[in-house]
Structures are given as C-alpha cells and as structure tokens.
Structure 1
Amino acid sequence: MGLSGLLLLLGLFSPSWAGVTVQVPGLQVPPQYASRRADAQKLFTVSYDAYKQFAFGHDDLSPVSRGFSDGRNGWGASVVDAMATMAVMGLDDIFEEAVNFTANIDFSRSKTSSTVSVFETTIRYLGGLLSAYELSDEKFPVLVQKAKEVADKMAFAWVGNNDMPFGFMNFATNTPTRSTSNIAEAGTLSLEWFMLTKYTNNATYGDRAARSAKHIANLASPLPGLAAQGIDPATGNAVGSYVTWGGGSDSYFEYLIKYARLTNTDEHIYIDTWKTAVDSSIKNLLRKSTVGNFTYLADFDGSRIRHVGSHLACFHAGNWLLGGKLLQNQTIIDIALELNEGCWNTYAGTATGIGPEAFAYISDDGSFTGGNSPSTAQMNFYNQHGYYITSSAYILRPEVLESNMHAWRITGDTKYLDRAASAIDAFNKFLPATVAFAGLNNVNSVTSSLIDDMESFWFAEVLKYLYLTFDDPAHISLDDYVFNTECQPFKAPPALDSYGGSGKLVPAKPFAAQSGALPAVSPNAFLKSAGVPRGSR
C-alpha cells in the first residue's frame, strides 16, 4: 500500500474498533500528586519568561549570563520547540504570540552558520510546527505553510535518486556540506515528513523519508536487526560496524515502531525490523551489573561488547514499553521495566539526584568500554551504586524522564510519580541560574558549576514529559498520540487489533562494513563537550 492509500485509511478506521491499548484503562493521578503538575508548569513558565526577556527570537537562552546563542540557525528554536508544550499546558496567550513570531521566520537562509542539520531541523522545527498545528485544532494554517517552507529546503538533502539524505545542508546553495552521516540522522525523519504529507496532501514528503528508513532496514547489519551506526549517504552503505541504542543510532530504532503505529501501515518491514532489533538486543547486548544486578544494554563495536550506557540511550525503556504493548509481548515489557530501573538508578546514585551524560558497568562477562579502565574513585562509586560515571554533565536531557512517564502510564505504579516528583525537586534545588535553569558540569557534586545554555528540548521534552506524568492520563494519551523524538505529539488513528507484523524476524544477511569515511565509535565520541547539543538523537 502506498502512502497516499495510508492517508485515506486514516479517515476510514471505525472509532468503535477496540484495538490494542497501551495505557492502563481508566488510569488517574492520585490526589496527593495533584500539585506536581503545577510545579512542572512553573518550571516552564519561569524558563520561558526568562527566555522572552533575554533571548526571544534566538535559539537558546544563556541563563547564567542572561544572553543567548543561536546553535539552531537563529530561527528561534526555543519558540518553535516550546509551542506544543504551551498548547498541552493551555498557555494560550504565549502560544498565539509564538504563532505570530513563527509566521515571520525566514527559512530560506540560516542566520548563523550556513550549515543546517536535516535531523535537528526536522525534529525541532518541522515536528514542532506540525504538532502545534494539530494541538491548536488546526486554527493556524500558517504553521503548515512554514513547515512546508523549511521542508522544501531540506528536500535538497536527497541528491539524485539517493534513498538516503545527506545529514547537513547549505541552505544558501541547496547543497550537502558533509559526506558522513549516521542512521539516527538519516532514519529519524519518517514521522514528521509523514505528517507533512497528511497536511499538504503531497505524498512526496512522506515517501521520501520512509524510503530512507526502509533502506537502512534492508541493509545487512553486524547483528540481526541492529544496523551499524555509521552510513555513507552518497552510497547508502554502512560505515563501520558499531552497534548501539545510544547517540548516532537511537531514534532510528525508536521510529520503526512509532511509524508503524502512527500510520497503521501494512508494510511489515518497520515492525519486523524493530522486533528483530529487540530480540537481537536481548540475545546479544542485554547484561546485568555485578553490583546491584542492574539491567542495561551494552554496545557492540563489531568484535567486542562494550559495557557502556548513556542518558541518550535511556529512551529505550519507554520505546520498548510502547512496542511491547503494541505487540502484546509481556517479555519485552518486563525487560523494558528492568532497563528503566537501571536508568533511574543513574539518577538515584548521584549527589544531586540527577543523572549523568554517560556511564559504564561491570558484568560477569567483562568490563571493556573501549576507553580507560575505571579509576579507584570510579570503582568505589561502582561498588556503591552498580555503575560508574564516565561523563558527569547534565545538559537538560529528557530520556530518563521520558521512559519514566511511559512506565507510569503503562503500569500505573505510583513509584514513577514519586521519581518524577524527585526530579522536579532536584531541578529546583540544583539547576537555578540567574534567571532560569541551567545544566550541571558534575551531577555528583552539590556545588557543581552550571552550564550556560538552556537548549530548546528543555521546553519541548523535559518539561512536557514531567507535566504529562502528573496530568490526566486521558489527555495526550499514549493510545491517541505518537511522540516524535522531540516529544512533539502527533494524533494517531485508532489502534489496530494487532501489530504483529509478518510474525517473523528479519533474516540475517552477510555483513561487510565499508571503511574510511566514518570509523566505528562509541556514543562518547558524540559527546564532544559538556555543552554539546543533543546531536544525533
């Protein structure tokens, strides 16, 4: 079935069709947690008020110096990224102000660097505009107009007949600016571009992005279903043999199951590949720490297991919970809850109660990380907490709270509400800067210095996930919406009664990595500094 046929089907499913359910039916937030939704909203309003005063129209507020930065091409990333959160929170006054600002963005050129990330622009700008359009009951057609404008510029990333887009573009010349890419950059476009097709009735947008994801899924891989992290967009070939659920790969895997749910497609490749990736991860990457017995997914560098983890990778628990419910597979759900415990432990183990950027483990089968052996201090920390910190920064990332919200909605266990509440308390205690909230250089120090940047995903993800954790679960339900990787909700059609795919795993294919352009690297290679943006997720 083609994409145009899918769009027709979106209006043909009967609302009375029961379908698969994800959330606990009739779930309600207990009264003792009622004030916490307002606490989450206050984090947002304090942050946005400061942004309006000191950085409005720029990409990020610098909350320590009361300045701004423009790492997302100067188009006002925080405004666009925050719009859906404003709509979810019912902040109509600033939402309409944001719409008026957005109507005048000039997407024909970058205001800063000539280089534009197709991935980041898709998840933040394209996703933010289309989600805001939906959540405002389609009252502001200019949001679709601006989404089309920026997508039409990004469309030049697909050169000739290539299935794969280049990851970075020069908007002034409409040409690629970098030859290397990864599967997260190339494979995390399908939801947003499908939604653009829905609202423009132009199937080219969605077909283009879906073609990229399917190309990756059809590649031979180092482990069944688990594509290599690196890819050459010019040839479409894999580069290196590094496998991870962390940065550079993460949201490609995330979107496989989400695209299947958002479109209700009868093309089995998305669910089959996701299911194979999960099955392969359980068989090859799943490990337990020797202290605390915490579950984690290791990386694989083509020859050895690397016992590493990252904040970015901790989205996997929520994604597996969603997929496990859609596939009605209790084994996946149970393992996802164990993964969630391991990720939450990285918060619980620090002096601030906030989790670090990257960490490592020791398992019965080894402690190899591809880097240095743990120091004496790291070993002492490991013996207390079951993991040790390898990158101590917190740059306002959402993934642990993302999975925590999914765990609450899918199990109804109030311990997840307690955890979200503790995160709010920790943020209020350790993140305040001069006017808003900033990241930490060292989450294991209560006197840590701050990172002078408040990325747009603080508005789009962290604060939306916290708010939704304490909001009425029937509002923006996981049964009604699919979130893009920036936590922008997209309305989904009624669920099918089964998401089993073909019922088969994807068969393994002989794998030979292309060498040269992009060596196999661990996620830490993407964490170039404490202030590095989300990068390849």
Structure 2
Amino acid sequence: MRLYRILVGAIVVFTSSANSRFPPVARIENHTHTISQKRAQAIKEAFEFAWYGYQTFAFPNDELHPINNSFSDSRNGWGATAVDALSTAILMESQDVVTTILKYIPSINFNVSKGNQPVSLFETTIRYLGGMLSGVDLLTGPYQHLTESPDDVTALKLQALSLANKMKFAFDTPTGIPANNLNFKGENYDPFQPTGLAVAGTLILEWTRLSDMVHVPDFANLTQHAENYLLLPTYKNATIQPLLGLRGTSIDLSTGDFLDTKGGWGGGDDSYYEYLIKMFVYDPAHFSDYKDEWLQAVKSSATSEISSHPYSRPDLTFLTNWNGQDAILRSSHLACFAGGNWILGGLVLGNQTLIELGQNLTDSCAEIYTATITGIGPETWSWEDEEFFDGDEFEEDRSTKENGFIITDPMYDLRPEVLESLYYAYRATGDKKYQDWSWNTFKAINTTCRTGSGYSAISNVNVTHGGNFSNFQESFMFAETFKYAWLIQAEDSKVHVAKMGEEQTWVFNTEAHPLKVRSQQAQQ
C-alpha cells in the first residue's frame, strides 16, 4: 500500500535520503494554497512516510528501528506506535492510516504483556488509553466520515474499558494512590516502591473521560481520590516544605506522604501541573480548585528563583529544578512544555499576563534550537545567572556568553515540547513568527533525524549531522511531534485549542490526544 500520494503540480523536495526506498518528504507547489497549507501538506507527508516505514517493518509491534528495519516492544507489545498515531492520522484525515489502525486495535490482548514486562500505569494511560479515547471523541465528532462502521468506534471504547479494568488494581494500595510498575500476570506491584508526582497526577483526565464515556464513575473516582493527596499534601519531614504551590516528587504508597521536596516543571513532575489547568478546561465548574492550585504553582514559579535569567542573556527565562532548598540552574526539553501550558491558562482565564509569561518561556526555549549547529534543541542545559555568576569558564566561553547557556546533555529524542508551546503561542497571539519558528524546527528535525525507513533520536545536536543515530523511533513522535508541527500550520483543522474569548471545546492530554470537554459531551 502506497500511502505517499503525489498530487497534481510540481514537487519541490526539501529533504531526501539517498539510500531510502521510501518517498522523500515533499511540498506541493500550488499557488492557490497559502504557505502554511503547503507546510501542513509537507508535514502530513512526513508523517505518512514514517508510518509507512513502521507499517512495513514493525507493525504491529511497538516501535520501528529505522536504520536496520527491525522493531522493539518497549511498551508491552500492544502496538504503541499504531495507537499513538491514530489521533494524528484522524486530524490529518489520512484515511488509509486510520483504517489500518482501526482494524488492528480490536485484536490487542491487553491482558498479556509481551515478555511479562512491567506495565507502566502512567505511560499506558497517556499513550494507549488516551489514544483510544481520543479516537472515540474524534470519530463521533467532526471526523465521522473516516469510519466505515459505528462498530469501529464501539471497538475503541470497549478496548479502552478493557485496558482500564485490567489496570485498576494499581489503586489497591493502603491510600488509594496508585502504583506505577504493574505486573499483569500476577496483578501485583512492589508496595515499597514510591510512586511519582507525575504518575499520580497524570491519570485524572483520561480516567475521568472514560467514566463519562461509559457512564461508570469508578474510574474517575479512583483518580480523583488519589489527586486529593496531591492537592492537600503532607510531608514525611514536616520541617521541610517546598516552595508555595509546588510539590515534592516521590510519594509513599502506604501513608500518602511526600518523601522529598524536590521538583519543578521538568520530567517526573511536569504533567501533574499540566493537568491541573487542563482539568479546569475539561469542566470549569467541577475542577475550579484544581485551577486555583495551578495558579499558585505558576505564581510561585514566576516570582521565585524557579524562573531564572542567564547573566549574559537576561532576555531569556528558563525554569530551574528545585533540590528542596535551592534552585539548580539546569533545565530540560521536557520543561519547555510549560510555556504552552501557561499560555493555555491565560487563554481560558482571560489573563494576558499569563500569556506573556508563557510566551517568554516559549521564546526562550525556541532560542535553544537556534543556538545549535543542527537547529535542534538539546535534552538538558545549564547557565549562570547574575546572582551566582563568578566569571571563570562562562566568561571564557564565547558561545555561552552569546547564547546564555551551556549544553549538558546534547541528545535529541524526537521530543515535541518546543513545538507544542509554539503552537499554543500562535493560537494566543496569531503572530506568524511562531509558524515560521515551528516550520524551521520541523525542517531541522526532518533534515537531521530522518534516516532509513523513518526517524531516529540523535546523540548530539551541536555537531554536524547530529552525531550518531540511536536507531529508535519513539511512538510519541506520531502522537505529538508531527501533530503540533502540523496543527500550527493547518489553520482549517476541525480541532484546535480555542483562541482568547472562545469556548474551549477540546483539551489535549499530555500525549497530545484531543478529548472532548464536558460541555461538548452534553451536546452529543
């Protein structure tokens, strides 16, 4: 099956792979289309190229190894790439891809984990459960024409229900706070292993949507009960407290106590804060207290040393890590989602200050991309601010003085967070510079990370050609990276984050799967 379709008109190839048997990413020269429409078409074709490589050499396994055309099953062997790709394929109206995935999903046996590997409650919820629920919402909404039968949607719903029922034992702890690493064969877990803030705080959107969808309140009740421990935190060491509005990272399953006060907006904590405001978007009346907690976290972060400015680039703002007592001047690609998240809060609350704070974070993360040889941002970086600057190596390093930061981990893992925040910034401002920045980011990723039959993580964004390939194509590239790159250009998409003053009808989970908000469900 040839998914890549050459339309009428001359084709201008902006990148190609000499040894690839797959069609190059292309752009259609049709002057009746706007620049953004041409870009959106090129990104769609890149998505279909990557899908075709996966379908040919890896489907229905979890991930493609694009260099040697092999595969792996790091997400339990249930076809993570296929389920993650569904919502993006629907938005792009890529019919062949949608049809293939819809035919596959009913065949998944969620009762058995391949090789009996542990099942991550967090990853399985955001990728598999979120992907299927989003498919139901999109295919019963503006994309009904992409289904051959109502049975397709019913199958998605039943599989989502089956998966959640299988994972429910994660909440059978003394507190009801869920364990993350689950043994499906014995339906047990390590009761002495703490759970993480992002784990306990990033289930509520998907499990609440499932309850609403199947009219069974148990799923929502489980996650909302666990969330109460996060909203009203207690600490094992009561004499040490985190910054106001922030939380620690590790939680004792038996007591519900936080075991530390470390954290911030980076990995391990990030999506707890993300979902506070997104639950308010989902239902403002029911989750107003979540919004209040989110506002406190943002206010505390924006007015403390959590927000830091490099001494040589005071125009930049990065969110630091917090070690329990002090800020650690280090940030990560994962934390770059915060710009978009703060902008979303500004949009739904009608607060221009929040939008501008989010723009500053977004613009700063975009600078990380422009400063490297490949035009791609690294995994982590650090800097010196005026308070701690003592000259020495930073003063001697010309590039650090010009850029404001030093790369501490130069890899790039096909991550979406900068593209995500650029999308939110464009929805809030309409400033076409964000479309241009997103396009340049996508071109850099496409030029450097495309190899063989798909895309691969790279070892070093600051050397020519990106160093070495990892030979691993993440499923979240299909769910998030392609989607956000496409949405910012696809102004006529039927699903978007609403602009200021408009009702939010969709909310994106942390894997970028769109879900209907409650007001829209009532209208169906």
Report the TM-score range of the alignment, normalised by the length of the smaller protein.
Answer: 0.7 to 0.9
**Structure 2 counterparts to residues 211-290 of structure 1, below 5 A:** 211-220=225-234, 221-284=241-304, 285-290=306-311
- C-alpha distance in structure 2 between counterparts of 1:300 and 1:163, whole Å: 27
**3-state SS of paired residue (1:223):** coil
- C-alpha distance in structure 2 between counterparts of 1:49 and 1:269, whole Å: 45
**Structure 2 counterparts to residues 452-463 of structure 1, below 5 A:** 452-463=471-482
Structure 1 counterpart of 2:421: 403
**Structure 1 pair 95/301, CA: closer, same or farther in 2 (3 Å)?**
same
1:49 aligns with 2:69: no
TM-score normalised to structure 2 length: 0.85
- C-alpha distance in structure 1 between counterparts of 2:131 and 2:482, whole Å: 15
Post-superposition offset of 1:206 = 0.9
* Contact 1:109 1:172 (C-alpha < 8 Å) held by counterparts: yes
Post-superposition offset of 1:111 = 0.7
1:191 aligns with 2:205: yes
**3-state SS of paired residue (2:114):** coil
Structure 2 counterpart of 1:164: 177
Selected match of 1:147 from 139, 156, 160: 160
Q: List runs of 5+ in structure 2 lacking aligned partners.
A: 1-32, 145-149, 235-240, 499-504
**Structure 1 pair 379/239, CA: closer, same or farther in 2 (3 Å)?**
farther
Structure 2 counterpart of 1:98: 101
Structure 2 counterpart of 1:83: 86
**Structure 2 counterparts to residues 470-489 of structure 1, below 5 A:** 470-472=489-491, 475-479=494-498, 480-489=505-514
Post-superposition offset of 1:429 = 1.5
- C-alpha distance in structure 2 between counterparts of 1:264 and 1:435, whole Å: 44
- C-alpha distance in structure 2 between counterparts of 1:265 and 1:165, whole Å: 26
Structure 1 counterpart of 2:147: none
**Structure 1 pair 307/228, CA: closer, same or farther in 2 (3 Å)?**
same
Between 1 and 2, higher relative CO (CA 8 Å, sep ≥ 6) is seen in: 1
- C-alpha distance in structure 1 between counterparts of 2:395 and 2:185, whole Å: 50
1:130 aligns with 2:133: yes
**Structure 2 counterparts to residues 368-447 of structure 1, below 5 A:** 379-447=397-465
* Contact 1:115 1:177 (C-alpha < 8 Å) held by counterparts: no
Post-superposition offset of 1:431 = 1.2
Post-superposition offset of 1:428 = 2.4
1:466 aligns with 2:485: yes
Post-superposition offset of 1:161 = 5.0
Structure 1 counterpart of 2:502: none
Q: Which moved more, 1:468-477 or 1:316-325?
A: 468-477
- C-alpha distance in structure 2 between counterparts of 1:277 and 1:156, whole Å: 31
* Contact 1:70 1:112 (C-alpha < 8 Å) held by counterparts: no
Post-superposition offset of 1:243 = 2.1
Structure 1 counterpart of 2:332: 310
**Structure 1 pair 451/160, CA: closer, same or farther in 2 (3 Å)?**
closer
Structure 2 counterpart of 1:24: none
- C-alpha distance in structure 1 between counterparts of 2:450 and 2:173, whole Å: 49
Q: Once superposed, what is the RMSD of the aligned Cα atoms?
A: 2.0
**3-state SS of paired residue (1:439):** coil
Letter matched to residue 489 of structure 1: P
- C-alpha distance in structure 2 between counterparts of 1:415 and 1:113, whole Å: 48
Post-superposition offset of 1:437 = 1.2
- C-alpha distance in structure 2 between counterparts of 1:233 and 1:252, whole Å: 17
Letter matched to residue 162 of structure 1: T
Identity value in percent: 35
Structure 2 counterpart of 1:300: 322
* Contact 1:119 1:167 (C-alpha < 8 Å) held by counterparts: yes
**Structure 1 pair 367/157, CA: closer, same or farther in 2 (3 Å)?**
farther
- C-alpha distance in structure 2 between counterparts of 1:433 and 1:159, whole Å: 44
* Contact 1:213 1:252 (C-alpha < 8 Å) held by counterparts: no
